[in-house]
């Protein structure tokens, strides 16, 4: 499973990038062989205005299937990523549960 992080208007430290990669690997480990790529898109929606404006959109690409997407908006990048990861886990469980259940 390849992980790609896109944050065009954010400057991510190496520590944050590593945390995101580790979190994605850990959260999606049970489905890693079924996924070809996971894209993490990060965005600060309000820039300097502040508030609950960090958006994380996760796109998981299962082999031979259409991509699945989940997103979450929160106060920080880590919180937004945690929320989006929780959601994409549920989406994947629903999709693969339907196929095999």
Residue 87 contacts residue 71 (beta carbons within 8 Å)? yes
Characterize the bridge pairing of strands 54-62 and 35-44. antiparallel
Domain ranges of the chain: 2-100
- The residue behind tokens 């820039």 is 47
- The model's pLDDT over 23-68, given as tens digits with 9 standing for 90+, comes to 999 999 999 999 999 999 999 877 666 666 899 999 999 999 999 9
The topology (CATH level 3) of 2-100 is Double Stranded RNA Binding Domain (3.30.160)
Residues 14, 18: Cα–Cα separation, whole Å: 6
pTM over 0.75: yes
- Mean model confidence pLDDT for the chain: 90
Query: Three-class SS of residue 44?
Result: strand
Is pLDDT larger for residue 72 or for residue 97? 72
- Close Cβ partners of 45 (under 8 Å, ≥ 6 residues apart): 53, 54, 55, 73
pLDDT of residue 45: 76
């Amino acid at each position: 499973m390849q992980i790609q992080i896109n944050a065009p208007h954010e400057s991510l430290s190496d520590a944050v990038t590593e945390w995101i990669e580790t979190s994605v690997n850990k959260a999606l480990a049970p489905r890693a062989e079924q996924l070809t790529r996971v894209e993490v898109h990060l965005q600060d929606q309000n820039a300097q205005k502040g508030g609950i404006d960090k958006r994380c959109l996760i796109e998981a690409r299962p082999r031979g299937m259409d991509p699945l997407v989940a997103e979450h908006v929160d106060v920080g990048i880590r919180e937004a990523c945690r929320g989006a990861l929780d959601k994409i886990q549920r989406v994947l469980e629903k999709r693969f549960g339907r196929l095999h259940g």
